[in-house]
Structure 1
Amino acid sequence: MLKLSKILQQPISITGIASVSALGMSLPQVWECYKRSDSIFTTKSVSGQRVALSKVTPEIEEALSELKQSHSAYKKLDRSVLLGILAARMAFPKHLKDKLVGVTIGSSRGATGLFEKYHEQFRSKGKVSAFSSPTTTLGNISSWVGQDLGVQGIQVGHSVTCSTALHAVLNGIAWLQADMADAFVVGGSEAALTPFTLAQMQAMKLYSTSPEAFACESLRLDKKKNTMVLGEGAAVAVLEKGISENRIASIKGYGFASEKIAHGSAISENAECFQESMKNALDRSGLKTVDAIIMHAPGTVKGDTAEFNAVKEVFRNKLPLLTTNKWLLGHTFGASGMMSVEMAILMLQHNQFIPNPFFSNNIPTNKPLEHLMVNAVGFGGNAVSIIVGK
């Protein structure tokens, strides 16, 4: 194992968090949705087949429409950018108005909707709009969020596919520890419910064909078929250095790792990248274990099993409580890691564990919650583990 700095140089506070997704657009709405655990999947026809997916709520659709009408430039932005703006507005605390605030909000697919629109326009007419380039760059989300919030710090974008949001957390921590910002807005945004993107997932034979209400069987370890379901949404947190009086939670530790891969969309049988990222997060936190882990578990046969194997390797015969949110929400790609961080913070605030219906924990689920780990991994075996605490 690569030896890295074992403890955080300075504590990191989370002073704001928000999301927009099929779960809702406020923390109380999201928490109620987790507690009810009712199916929120809808269906769409793709290549002649009905597939499950999760779309944002009608309330969010109305907010997106109002946002477009509020500024002429917003009418030309991709849906992923608009979702990011909505989430960032709700997460951003007022006390940071005059501080040096950076933004790093990434995406797995980026401006998918506009890419497909402009490509079709080019194929049919041989030319495209002058807005096609500036509105489809990957940094588009962070730059427009920064413009909308009126912040003056660095605004950068990135993609590490499904671990993008947690890599944004790593970036934010690094900038804060280097004294290059007072606060950082971090997260991910994804609006990839487009025919081409859904067809890509079907081509990899990852997408669920289940007719059940809960078509994504995330963390069901005995499944024989892949059951990934795609969702849309954005999730954003605000990080500050030190122990802020405005904190809603703290980052206790973080770890990251990558591994040599044999396939572009797979990780090793025992997810060596996750083993390393979880060990590093524990080392930096000074903890021996955590109360629960919100796993990445995308609903694929190999992905779910590999991560579970990694957890067993790290925690041996003393497994923490294990859960996921993709069985309910679906996979929001670049936003998924921060959606899981939000779930972790809500469980800490309410001191209540939200179980996964496809996995049975062998320890009581009503134990006090103090420290939760969140996992995410992207194509290329890039894993991140974040520990959050009260």
Structure 2
Amino acid sequence: MLNDKIGITAIASVSPLGDGMDVVWGNYQNKGHCFRQQRFNGNPVWVAPLQKDLVNKIEAIRISDSKYKNLDKSVLYALYASRNAIKIAGWKADDNFGINIGSSRGATALFEKYHEEYLNNGKTATLASPTTTLGNISSWVAHDLQTQGPEVSHSITCSTALHSLLNGIAWLKSGMANKFLVGGSEAPLTPFTIAQMQALKIYSKVKNESTGLVGDKESAIVKESLWGTERSQSYPCRALDLKKDKNSMILGEGASVACLEKGISNNTLAIIDGIGFATEPLEHNVSISTDADCFQRSMKMAMGATKPEEVDVIVMHAPGTIKGDQTEVNAIQKVFRDKMPFLTTNKWKIGHTFGASGMLSIELAVLMLQQQQAISVPYIDNLKEPKFINKVLVNAVGFGGNAVSVLVSKP
């Protein structure tokens, strides 16, 4: 447990769900998903892209300043979300707040573009190096917001955003900062990134290649034969479905950031009750142990003195892979035993956003606390929704078993 209360005073995102907490919550109310088929390397692939109106808003940032025209989308997404977050929180530049916004992959689109140019011409553009470093995100956000506080960027794969939150809390508790902007940003819908995930054999496959691409009403429908039955279904990512016999991870894009402050005020959205982190010895390059020892330790650390029955909901990492989903459930069962909370995830709806995913899960947790409604996974019907939601545990883990758990509660 954290001795000094730290609150989330604002949270903002840009994702396939839209932007603005009202819009995001409204889109969580429907049972549809955000997946579309786009062609990568000549083949149709499931992805979760931003909606067209958001793409236009992001592009407006790019053309608003000549210095921004060569920035990667991962940086622009972070700029957009960060502007909205500090506006909600009422922060000013002279507050000198800290910034820690990370990314798993960084400037993927620009890196692939510049590398292709190098292969073709033997030369690369002047801005190839400065615009593809991971330090791009926080430094450009600091420039855009004109804050003079510390700025940190990092990559801890898929647990990046929650590690940003841990780092922000450490700065606040040390007394070296009073406010910290934390989160993650990811724009991984690029040919090489998609190919990497397909090479791992964890990506959801398009079985019916006659379905349309983006904009086609049939693009969200594939055959249930992927799951061993004859009927049709509309969920190509089966996150948290422990009966699936095929991996079904799908990539999405977006950014999400939160404003952290010491103490509790009238605009506090949620309290961070506990944080936990753990790593474990590698058994495999891309997977964790059968019972996810790292998750067991991170959850116990985050809960501290909180009893298992006091946790109402867990927002799982659950990427939609067979082993990933099962091992996390195994870890939860080991920790909670017969006091299992309500389990949910948002990856069936928006896909896996890599370094941004943990903060998008925090956003979902905060919304459920505010609205007092659990968001269920539509094809999982054996979980009883809680009558009250006072505490939500959020999990994230990256390649190499870097697990983080964060316990949030109502203010």
- Normalised by the length of structure 1, the TM-score is 0.96
- 1:169 counterpart residue number: 165
Asked if the contact 2:40/2:190 (under 8 Å) is kept, the reply is no
**What secondary structure sits across from 1:245 in the alignment?**
coil
Q: Which segment drifts farther, 183-192 or 211-220?
A: 211-220
Which 10-residue stretch deviates more, 212-221 or 318-327?
212-221
Out of 131, 135, 146, the residue aligned to residue 135 of structure 1 is: 131
- The one-character-per-residue Cα deviations of 1:3-29 (angstroms, maximum 9, x if unpaired) are xxxx31311110110110110011111
Secondary structure of the equivalent of 2:130? coil
Equivalent position amino acid for 2:273 in 1: K
CA separation in 1, counterparts of 2:308 and 2:184? 28
Which segment is superposed worse, 239-248 or 91-100? 91-100
Partner-residue secondary structure (3-state), 1:69:
helix
1:350 to 371, 395, 400: 371
Aligned to 1:282: 303
Kept in 2, the 8 Å contact 1:254–1:284? The answer is no
Q: Please say if residues 187 and 236 of structure 1, whose CA atoms lie closer than 8 Å, have aligned partners that are also in contact.
A: yes
Q: Give the superposition deviation at 1:361.
A: 4.0
2:388 corresponds to 1:368: yes
The one-letter code of the counterpart of 1:196 is F
**Whole-angstrom distance in 1 between the partners of 2:358 and 2:164:** 10
CA distance in 1, matches of 2:292, 2:381: 21
Which of 108, 111, 132 is the matching residue for 1:112?
108
Task: Give the letter for the 1:303 counterpart.
Answer: G
Q: What is the match of residue 31 of structure 2?
A: 37
Letter in 2 for 1:54: A
78-87 or 287-296: which moved more? 287-296
Q: CA deviation at 1:101?
A: 0.5
1:226 aligns with 2:247: yes
1:63-100 per-residue CA deviation (whole Å, 9 max, x = no partner) reads 11110111001101000000000011111122444323
Aligned to 1:389: 409
SS of the residue aligned with 1:335? helix
Match of 2:77 in 1: 83
Question: What is the CA–CA distance in structure 1 between the aligned matches of 2:390 and 2:98, rounded to whole Å?
Answer: 29
Give the SS at the match of 2:332: helix
Note closer, same or farther for the CA distance 1:106–1:342 as it changes in structure 2 (3 Å cut).
same
Q: What is the distance in 1 between the residues matched to 2:82 and 2:67? A: 18
Cα deviation 1:139-169 (Å, max 9, x = unaligned): 1000001111111111110011100000000
Q: Taking every aligned residue pair, what percent have the same amino acid on both sides?
A: 53
1:94 aligns with one of 77, 90, 94: 90
**Aligned residues of 1:218 and 1:358 also touching (Cα < 8 A):** no
* Residue 18 of structure 2: aligned partner: 24
1:4 maps to which residue? none
Question: In the aligned structure 2, how far is the partner of 1:214 from the partner of 1:143?
Answer: 38
- Distance, in Å, in 2 between the alignment partners of 1:38 and 1:207 is 20
Residue deviations 1:175-226 (CA, integer Å, cap 9, x gap): 0000111111100000010000000000000100153532110000011110
Q: Number of residues paired by the alignment?
A: 383
Q: How far is the alpha carbon of 1:341 from its aligned partner?
A: 0.3
| Contact 1:54-1:329 at 8 Å conserved across structures | yes
Distance in 1 of aligned mates of 2:345 and 2:55: 26
**Paired residues of 2:8 and 2:260 also in contact (CA < 8 A):** yes
Tell me the alpha carbon deviations over residues 80-137 of structure 1, each in whole angstroms, 9 at most, x when there is no partner.
0000000111111224443230100000110000000100111111111111111111
Q: 2:146 aligns with which of 150, 158, 161?
A: 150
Aligned counterpart in structure 2 of residue 58 of structure 1, from 31, 52, 60: 52
| Superposed displacement of residue 276, structure 1 | 0.3
In 2, the alpha carbon distance for the partners of 1:95 and 1:361 equals: 43
Give the deviation of 1:263 after TM superposition: 1.2
Matches within 5 A, 1:191-210: 191-210=187-206
For residues 248 and 10 of structure 1, the distance between their equivalents in structure 2, rounded to whole angstroms, comes to: 16
The residue matched to 1:259 in structure 2 has which SS? coil
- The secondary structure found in structure 1 opposite 2:291 is coil
* Deviations 1:249-304 (CA, angstroms, capped at 9, x unpaired): 11011111010111111000000000000000110657763000000000000000
1:322, 1:361 within 8 Å by CA — same for their partners in 2? Answer: no
The structure-2 alpha-carbon separation of the partners of 1:47 and 1:95, relative to structure 1 and needing over 3 Å to count, comes to closer
Q: Show the counterpart of 1:246.
A: 267
What amino acid does structure 1 have at the position aligned with 2:178?
D
User: Would the aligned equivalents of 1:106 and 1:158 in 2 still touch at CA under 8 Å?
Assistant: yes
Matched, 1:190 2:186: yes
Asked if the contact 2:312/2:386 (under 8 Å) is kept, the reply is no
Q: TM-score of the superposition, structure 2-length normalised?
A: 0.91
Instruction: Tell me the amino acid that sits aligned with residue 119 of structure 2.
Output: R
